[in-house]
Structure 1
Amino acid sequence: MLKFASISLLALATATPAFAETADSDEIVVTASGIEQPRDQVGQAITIIDADTIEKRQTVDIVDLLATTPGIRFNRTGSTGSVASVSIRGAETTQTLVLIDGVKVNDPSGIGDGYDFGHLLTSNIRRIEVLRGSNSVVHGSQAIGGVVNLMTATPAEGFSANASAEYGYSDTLSAKADVSGTAGPISGGIGAAYFRTDGISSAAVGTERDGYENFSGNARIKVALGDALSLDLRGYYITSDLDYDSFFGAPADSGDVAKLDQYVGYAGLNLGLFDGRFNSRAAVTWMRNERDYFFVRGTDPDYGYKGTNLRFEYQGVVTPADSAKLVFGYEHERPDYDFFGFGSTDSQKANIDSVYALGIVQPLAGLSLTGGVRHDDHSQFGGATTFGANANYSPNDGETNIRLSYGEGFKAPSLYQLYDSFSGNAALRPEQSKSYDIGLDQRLADGRALVSVTAFLRNTTDQINYDNATFTYGNIDRTRTKGVEATLALRPVDALNVTASYSYIDARDRSGRPAFDGKRLPRRAAHAVSLSADYDWSFGLSTGATITMVGDSFDDAANAVPLDGDALAGIRASFPVGGHFEIYGRVDNLFDADYATAFHYGTYGRAAYGGVRARF
């Protein structure tokens, strides 16, 4: 059952950093349509986690930041660095599309092309946009549940440098630094981050700690080649080394090791013509995941995977009038994967060609309408066509926003599901979804309060699952998810920010199979609450706390293995020293709650950390 921690509202009101759901109505978002848009022109549900929130919360794991977002559920199989998956509005974790600096990073070598958030630390990530709901018109495959868009810092005007280092529980060391600047027509930045920990036992019954080491680097440069032409280069790299506990059967202490190298690259040209009325972007993106697994450290890898996705993108934006835009584009991508181990090797690839068009118009004051269509042609299963439309209406200059959204999503079968020599099925069809939203955002008290409520429904068909009757993958599942998301953001005085969010997700199997039909989908708790506040004291001290409460769920599709809900609380503080330095610290899981996000896997108890930041 759900375990509640006792924290008074007064304590919360002098505590936690605010979530950026309180963004101004004119804040720019890019995830909804693939171009910059004022937020009050978007009819879809989007949450923004900005640089200030990331810094104040002092969070290391991206999934811990996402966990306070309405509609998000996650699970992690043990210590930091272990496999971590994110579900949006009850969708499969493989139906979450992930972008890093505009590059799709879902792994083509995974069983379902999912993304492992376990190795993605906050490092030098400066902004996260979470779009909830199906949106394949803009983003193509995987965007059934929604999109998580992560961005590093844009180069500063002049010169800027930041660095931080912290130490804490389980001999954990984290350090990061970045520099950026602009000189004439060239702007750029580079950053690096290092993390190591002795960790915890990933197996709940284990006694040995599973350590983890992670290094990440990022760089970007933009060169103005003329008044209308610019070159944009971006790169992101992660390398990691993880001790983990064997997952063949119930997890138990073992000497298993996993190593990852992830490469992300983007090279683009931007051209603006006719006084900005016609803008073009042509880019090549490249992502490669290399995963090696060892039964014993120091030996040759026993098995491994390599997944690569090479993409070409063209996007055009025509603005015939200030109140209208046409976005259109062409994409070609070539995912491929390689596997070795257990006496065999395998290598497969596919080609996907896509075209799309999206219209955005403001026919009258306060009303914004968006609609579009996309067609994807896959070299194996053929074509998939998706539609989407949304509207945002404000009768009072952004004080009230009424949002409506309809989106279709699809997910191509993974190369493993199509071609694996034992369980592959070349006749698989893409998974398809239809998603409906209706929402209301209401500002009160001269903008010091925001109430946001969204109701949603999504039906997914042809969902791919392993068929125990044929021992192959098949389009055997149907699911339905419905629910409500609500956020209350308050700023009663300039120094205090309070945010509360709640989401209800009813995610159920609708396959018709007697053992599963009507059951709740695994690891999707129906209820989740997050309450945060932060207070900036007049003498410079900043204090904060967050509490998240997640209801009961099940670890399996038959709903035979329950997972108890949990309530976790954390507190934090920071204090400036001089003009360029700041000391900070936090305590996670303040009340040492015993909980699990995946059956048989361990979680962290109470843990404290402290560090210092420098800015120039």
Structure 2
Amino acid sequence: MLKHTAISLIALTAATPALAQTSSLGDDIVVTASGIEQPRDEVGQAITIVDAKTIEQRQTIDIVDLLATTPGVRFNRNGSTGGVTGVSLRGAETTQTLVLIDGVKVNDPSGIGDGYDFGHLLTGNISRIEVLRGSNSVVHGSQAIGGVVSLMTATPAEGFAANASAEYGYSDTLSTKADVSGTAGRVSGGIGAAYFRTDGISSAAVGTEKDGYKNFAGNARLKVAFSDALSLDLRGYYINADVDFDSFFGAPADSGDVAKLNQYVGYAGLNLGLFDGRFTSRAAVTYLRNDRDNYFVRGTPADYGYKGTNLRFEYQGVVAPVEQAKLVFGYEHERPDYDFFGFGSTATARANIDSVYALGIVQPFTGLSVTGGVRHDDHSQFGGATTFGANANYSPNGGATNFRASYGEGFKAPSLYQLYDSFSGNAALRPEQSKSYDFGIDQSLADGRAQLSLTAFLRNTTDQINYDNATFTYGNIDRTRAKGVEATLALRPVDALNLSASYSYIDARDRSGRPAFDGKRLPRRAEQAISVSVDYDWSFGLSTGATITMVGDSFDDAANNVPLDGYALAGIRASFPVGEHFEVYGRVDNLFDANYATAFNYGVYGRAAYGGVRVKF
């Protein structure tokens, strides 16, 4: 049924008629494609933007629930809010998704595969998300095999601005946030905080004990322009989280396990522009620290824990001798560190990675933009890795139609755990490598009131790291292939009505040659997913909306013996302004109380209602 629905959606988007002529919605600016700001119609890669208006309108708490409405994204969550959560792009491993917060790489060096746990990342004061799909290690280095998820907090307002909100709902859930920002002369800055608390649900699907969760997130920005050419940029992000979870082996059951996280993210950069902006430089130091402690019983000393840090130095230069050409080049040095304690032992490991890259962006004639680049990374353990990438965007009609094509190579360095763990580590591991191709078309109709995008993609990954049961160590034993199509549709037939829809088909399979797994679908990656959102602004101030997301069948294991049934989720929402600065809002998630699973034997939320207030100045 899902397949027929998806085909019908594509047919509908392809047949969308031209609507009444009106003003253009304007060009979007993206950063993740090349590491610098570019109009999206100069980029040949597939990128989805979730802006501040959408984040506020959807009322979503978990970042992954927003990501799930974009094409090419699949996720799995271990039970209650705060449970371990992974995001897969175009069928890649969750550890092959590179994650940035305000430009800082936040993948955890203390994780088994350096993945990022999205379970503690709530919308809070996040104001923009860019999702780049496809390999792009030329710009971003290790882990950008499936793609990149870049999250940004709000830039400081001109003058002064303040915002706050509070909501309450199902399972004694309280969510609050506030931020203030402003600009005075050459100094601008802002600070924000968000707090979330819930009794949650049982992480074990058959459990009866609720697993609670608390999360505090803070962010700050400061920019000082010493002159028109020189500025200092400081950014910080912090997460403190405390989650109860059920740890079970075999039959699922309630347990008293607790996990606590402290995550520190920092950025300090100097920006210099010379020759009327034709040469710009950025030198920055970034820092990530993840402290993760685990307890079998709350109130006792930590039984085991991990600390992962990553100190990076970045230099980026941009030369634009003419308006039609740019050269982006840079050097990066990073030092990931890993520390473990527990069960009567400790472990420490670290590495050094030095990288250089260059990227050329040219527009040989009106309507055509071509980008190509190369990167070399030198790892202190396994040596060097060189990656290439190129993309092109051509518009014959001033941006109304864009033809896109891209080729990207990706690599992922072995994690410190995979290299150096005393029981299963393998110091001879090679980096995972990928080659990614895609071709797409974007069509804008009726001065931007209707926008359609279609993309086809293929990715081959070799030397993928997995646990080798023959040697009881990690090895480069996997090969995988993913191919598929993505479609998005945005309609605004009248100013008051907005509709957005996305569809993706992903065929991600094992190509390792191992008899038990070869040809099998990769686990927890449904082939098909559709999401449709509709919002309407009534003349008397009320705003209403609904989102329906349908996800197809998948498997929980690599041998495809444990099925996960497909599901459909519906949610409704509304908001109403009271005066100029005040607004009340509410939503109902999982409206029809669907019973489903994104990970076998883990619980999910049923129908849940929430209501809140917002104030803005």
Q: What range describes the TM-score normalised by the shorter chain of this pair?
A: over 0.9
1:373 corresponds to which residue?
374
Residue 475 of structure 1 corresponds to 476
Rounded Cα–Cα distance in structure 1 between residues aligned with 2:77 and 2:403: 36
Q: Which aligned pairs between 1:524-539 and structure 2 lie closer than 5 A?
A: 524-539=525-540
Superposed counterparts of 1:148-187, under 5 Å: 148-187=149-188
- The residue aligned with 2:347 is 346
Q: CA deviation at 1:248?
A: 3.7
Match of 1:406 in 2: 407
CA distance in 2, matches of 1:345, 1:248: 24
Q: Which residue of 2 aligns with 1:280?
A: 281
Deviation of 1:503 after TM superposition, in Å, equals 0.3
Query: 1:305 Cα deviation (Å)?
Result: 0.2
Matches within 5 A, 1:245-284: 245-284=246-285
Identify the residue that residue 87 of structure 2 maps to in structure 1. 86
Whether the aligned pair in 2 keeps the contact of 1:508 and 1:518 (CA below 8 Å) is: yes
C-alpha offsets along residues 449-484 of structure 1, whole Å, 9 cap, x if unaligned?
A: 111100000000000000000000000000000000
Aligned twin of 1:392: 393
User: Partner amino acid for 1:252?
Assistant: A
Quote how far apart the aligned CAs of 1:360 are. 0.2
**Pairs within 5 Å for 1:114-513:** 114-513=115-514
Percent identity of paired positions between Structure 1 and Structure 2 = 86
Equivalent-residue separation in structure 2 for 1:27 and 1:554 (angstroms): 37
One-letter amino acid matched to 1:106: N
Cα deviation for residue 443 of structure 1 reads 1.1
Closer, same or farther: CA 303–2 of 1 in aligned 2, 3 Å: farther
Contact 1:2/1:566 (8 A) holds in 2? no
1:550·1:566 contact (CA, 8 Å) conserved in 2?
yes
User: Which residue does the alignment assign to 1:52?
Assistant: 53
Amino acid at match of 1:108: P
Q: C-alpha separation between the residues in 2 aligned to 1:577 and 1:322?
A: 48
Q: Does 1:575 align with 2:576?
A: yes
The code of the aligned residue for 1:463 comes to: Q
Residues 339-382 of structure 1: CA deviation (Å, up to 9, x unaligned): 01111100000000000000000000000000000000000000
In the alignment of these two chains, the number of paired residues is 601
Contact map agreement 1:74 1:85 (CA 8 A) in 2: yes
Query: Can you list the C-alpha shifts for 1:164-198, whole angstroms capped at 9, x where unaligned?
Result: 00000000000000000000110000000000000
TM score, norm. by length of structure 2: 0.96
Q: 1:497-521 CA deviation, whole Å, 9 max, x = no partner? A: 1111110000000000000000000
Once the two structures are superposed, what CA deviation does each residue of 1:109-128 show, in whole Å capped at 9, x if it has no partner? Answer: 00000000000000000000
Instruction: State the partner residue of 2:43.
Output: 42
User: Is contact 2:221–2:234 with CA below 8 Å preserved after alignment?
Assistant: yes
**Cα distance in 1 for residues equivalent to 2:322 and 2:125:** 38
Distance 1:588 1:23, change over 3 A: farther
CA distance in 1 between partners of 2:406 and 2:139 (Å): 14
Greater shift, 22-31 or 518-527, is seen at 22-31
Measured in 2, the distance between the counterparts of 1:2 and 1:469 equals: 39
User: Is the 1:4–1:549 contact (alpha carbons within 8 Å) kept by the matching residues of 2?
Assistant: no
Indicate conservation of the 8 Å contact 1:89/1:132, yes or no. yes
* Corresponding residue of 1:591: 592
User: Aligned equivalents of 1:376 and 1:247: distance in 2?
Assistant: 40
Contact 1:586-1:610 within 8 A present in 2 as well: yes
Does residue 1:65 correspond to 2:66, yes or no?
yes
Secondary structure, counterpart of 1:138 in structure 2 = helix
- Asked whether the 8 Å contact 2:3–2:528 carries over to 1, the reply is no
Partners of 2:252 and 2:321 in 1: CA distance: 60
Mapped to 2, the partners of 1:131 and 1:193 lie a distance apart of 27
Displacement of 1:3 after TM fit?
12
Q: 5+ residue gaps in structure 1? A: 10-21
Q: Take 1:142 and 1:166, find their aligned partners in 2: how far apart are those partners?
A: 36
CA–CA distance in structure 2, aligned partners of residues 437 and 214 of structure 1: 38
What is the CA–CA distance in structure 2 between the aligned matches of 1:24 and 1:112, rounded to whole Å? 41
Partner of 1:16: none
Q: Distance in 2 between matches of 1:323 and 1:55?
A: 37
Distance 1:3 1:254, change over 3 A: farther
Is the 1:506–1:526 Cα contact (8 Å) retained in structure 2?
yes
Moved more, 268-277 or 444-453: 444-453
CA distance in 2, matches of 1:198, 1:395: 55
Paired letter, 1:37: Q
Say whether residues 1:603 and 2:604 are aligned partners. yes
Shift of 1:249: 3.7
Question: Which structure would you say has the larger RCO, counting Cα contacts within 8 Å and 6 or more residues apart?
Answer: 1
Q: CA deviation at 1:26?
A: 2.1
User: How far apart, in 2, do the equivalents of 1:448 and 1:379 lie?
Assistant: 52
Specify the alignment match of 2:544 in structure 1. Answer: 543
Partner Cα separation in structure 1 for residue 459 and residue 302 of structure 2 = 42
Corresponding residue of 1:17: none
Alpha-carbon distance, 1:448 to partner: 1.2
How far apart, CA to CA, are the structure 2 residues paired with 1:184 and 1:612? 33
Runs of 4+ with >6 A deviation: 1-5
Q: Which amino acid aligns with 2:142?
A: S
Q: Contact 2:246–2:257 (CA<8 Å) still a contact in 1?
A: yes
TM value normalised by structure 1: 0.96
CA displacement, residues 395-428 of structure 1 (integer Å, 9 cap, x when unaligned): 0001100000000000000000000000000000
**Contact preservation (8 Å) 1:486, 1:503:** yes
Paired residues of 1:2 and 1:567 also in contact (CA < 8 A):
no
1:18 aligns with none
Q: Give how far 1:226 is off.
A: 1.4
Structure 1 residue identity aligned to 2:333: H
Q: Deviations over 1:59-80 (max 9, x none)?
A: 0000000000100000000000
Instruction: Give 3-state SS (helix, strand or coil) of 1:52's partner.
Output: helix
Aligned-partner SS, 1:175: strand
Alpha-carbon separation, structure 2, partners of 1:466 and 1:494: 54
Maintained 8 Å contact 1:198/1:211:
yes
Q: 1:218–1:235: 8 Å Cα contact kept in structure 2? A: yes
Corresponding letter in the other structure for 2:43: V
Counterpart CA distance in 1 for 2:613 and 2:4 is 32
- Structure 1 CA distance for aligned equivalents of residues 356 and 26 of structure 2: 31
Q: Alpha-carbon deviation of 1:445? A: 2.4
**What is the alpha-carbon distance in structure 2 between the residues aligned to residue 232 and residue 489 of structure 1?**
35
Is contact 2:585-2:611 (8 Å) kept?
yes
